[in-house]
Amino acid sequence: MRKCLRCETYMVEDLSIMVSNGGYGIDIREKGLFKTAIEKIKCAVCPECGYTETYIENTDKIKKLLNKEK
């Protein structure tokens, strides 16, 4: 479980960031047009201080990008 970086309270995870008015979530993509999404961004919120952070669940594709650059 994620702990808040500010106050070390356990965060509420697996939340979604939505475009206002009911659109889609936000995802991470490689640079360039028509690249497929690497992963949808999720969000965790600290119930104590409200600190909000974004993260991705599966980091495999990001790790592959890292290897591509070497």
Least Å from the CB of residue 41 to Zn ion: 20
Q: Which residues bind Zn ion (CB under 5 A)?
A: 4, 6-7, 9, 46, 48-49, 51
Question: Is the CB of 4 or the CB of 38 nearer to Zn ion?
Answer: 4
Residue 55 host element (H or E)? strand 52-55
- In a 3-state reduction of DSSP, which class is residue 65? helix
Give the N- to C-terminal CA distance of the chain in Å, as an integer.
Answer: 32
Question: Is the CB of 43 or the CB of 46 nearer to Zn ion?
Answer: 46
Least Å from the CB of residue 10 to Zn ion: 9
Based on its alpha-carbon atoms, the radius of gyration of the chain, rounded to whole angstroms, reads: 15
